[in-house]
Amino acid sequence: MTSTTPSASAGPTLEVRGVTKRYGARAAVDDLSFVCRPGTVTGFLGPNGAGKSTTLRILTGLARADEGEALVGGAPYRSLSHPARTVGVMLDARALHGGRTGLETLRLTARTVGMPASRADEVLEMVGLQGAGGKRVGGYSYGMRQRLGIGVALVGDPAVLILDEPANGLDPEGIRWMRRLLRSFADAGGTVLLSSHQLREVEATVDRLVVISQGRLVREGTLEELTSESGTRVTALDPTALRTALDKHGIAYEPRSETELEVSLVPEDMGRLALREQLVLTSLGASKGNGLEEVFFALTGQLEAPPAAAEAENQPAPAPIR
């Protein structure tokens, strides 16, 4: 089996520095900053419309930031001399041309990025589609398209992978395959950034997390840091005033009962906010998250699990590969 690991000993660092992107009066991304380092798999999380897809498009040169910059190894994607040889990208596997076979798609990609034709056969085996290489992509299942999309990202033998919802449509065996591929890629020094709504799969795959809501960063850190750190449970004499104050300062919270809220602040900071806003608190105490799902809901203020479908941010779908 051909290796799936990057050839470079260490991939470039991804940096998003103060990025803001507006569409009309709406800020899809609002002063967002985070870093993805070599040797790690970073999960990029947020509810629908949080700005994830817009951020990935800016990182990969498909959109321009109004403010700030997104860098790959210290340089914008558009300035890289051989972008596909540095960054493998899969933003929407549905954009693959349905009239070509899987092998033709990979051979065209290899020729476009300056790789030998033999690379297509290597990648076809790498993604487990060697038995379907002669079949037209239009006849592929969603999961097969996802595998092929990941294959297209791998053709250039990149040191960075940027993937949007890569586990969508994969069966359990496919998800295990993807997990092993990303883990081996990062362990060899590659840099991986993946956006996903599948929280349990993210928890089993990533080292670090970047969580955003309404275009803004709400938390960044290792998986262990985010799932072990304390939140705060709080009640107030005036529950409506408490919610209004939290909304005013953009602080995420989740109801735990009719009167109690789980707030994404440590107790000391919640106490300071209450003093500043002249709130009378009737209870205040630390609580521990039980897993990524609970942490996600607390940080983003979501009351129920997000749908598995990719977010809609009023963006046009990427053009098919021609």
pLDDT per residue as tens digits for the range 291-309: 787 778 777 766 444 444 3
Q: CA-CA distance, 149 to 159, in Å (whole number)? A: 17
Whether the per-residue pLDDT at 267 is higher than 70: the answer is: yes
Same domain, 84 and 161: yes
For residue 230, what pLDDT is reported?
Answer: 58
Same domain, 156 and 245: no
Same domain, 112 and 130: yes
The predicted-structure confidence for 148-172, as pLDDT tens digits, reads as follows: 999 999 999 999 999 999 988 888 8
Same domain, 157 and 18: yes
Domain of residue 61: give its range: 14-223
Whether the per-residue pLDDT at 240 is higher than 70: the answer is: yes
Q: CA-CA distance, 2 to 53, in Å (whole number)? A: 31
Beta strand 41-45 pairing with 160-164 = unpaired
For residue 312, what pLDDT is reported?
Answer: 40
Q: Are 34 and 13 in contact (CB under 8 A)?
A: no
Which among 65-69, 198-202, 283-287 has the top mean pLDDT?
A: 65-69
DSSP letter for 307, please.
Answer: P
Whether the per-residue pLDDT at 276 is higher than 90: the answer is: yes
pLDDT-above-90 percentage for the chain? 63
Q: Which of 177, 192, 223 is the last residue of a domain?
A: 223
Same domain, 145 and 212: yes
Mean pLDDT value across residues 144-149: 95
Residue 58 vs residues 28, 68, 151: alpha-carbon distances, Å:
12, 10, 22
Same domain, 19 and 155: yes
Same domain, 66 and 43: yes
What CATH number does residue 192 fall under?
A: 3.40.50.300
For residue 120, what pLDDT is reported?
Answer: 96
Same domain, 218 and 183: yes
For residue 289, what pLDDT is reported?
Answer: 54
Tally helices (H) and strands (E) across the chain.
11, 13
pTM over 0.85: no
| 178 located within any domain | yes
Same domain, 101 and 237: no
Whether the per-residue pLDDT at 321 is higher than 60: the answer is: no
For residue 257, what pLDDT is reported?
Answer: 83
| 38 located within any domain | yes
Mean pLDDT value across residues 105-130: 95
Using CA atoms of 244, 247, 251, 256 in order, give the dihedral in degrees to the nearest 10: 60
Q: Are 191 and 37 in contact (CB under 8 A)?
A: yes
Query: Which of 129, 71, 72, 65 has its CA nearest to residue 101?
Result: 129
Write the single-letter amino acid at 12. Answer: P
- Average pLDDT value for the chain: 87
Alpha helices per DSSP H over 70-198? 83-86, 102-113, 118-126, 142-154, 172-187
| 162 located within any domain | yes
Mean pLDDT value across residues 169-178: 89
Q: CA-CA distance, 192 to 206, in Å (whole number)? A: 9
Q: Which of 201, 223, 245 is the last residue of a domain?
A: 223
Same domain, 218 and 241: no
Q: Which of 167, 192, 223 is the last residue of a domain?
A: 223
Whether the per-residue pLDDT at 286 is higher than 80: the answer is: no
Whether the per-residue pLDDT at 258 is higher than 70: the answer is: yes
Helix, strand or coil, per DSSP, at residue 277: coil
pLDDT-above-70 percentage for the chain? 88
What CATH number does residue 294 fall under?
A: 3.30.70
| 314 located within any domain | no
Query: How many separate domains does the chain show?
Result: 2
For residue 12, what pLDDT is reported?
Answer: 93
Q: CA-CA distance, 59 to 36, in Å (whole number)? A: 12
Same domain, 219 and 266: no
Same domain, 71 and 109: yes
Those residues whose C-beta lies under 8 Å from the C-beta of residue 240, and which sit 6 or more positions away, are: none
Q: How confident is the model at residue 268 (pLDDT cuts 50, 70, 90)?
A: confident
| 274 located within any domain | yes
Q: Are 206 and 193 in contact (CB under 8 A)?
A: no
User: What's the per-residue H, E or C state across 45-105?
Assistant: ECCCCCCHHHHHHHHCCCCCCCEEEEEECCECHHHCCCHHHHEEEECCHHHCCCCCEHHHH
Beta strand 160-164 pairing with 191-195 = parallel
Mean pLDDT value across residues 26-51: 94
Q: How confident is the model at residue 313 (pLDDT cuts 50, 70, 90)?
A: very low
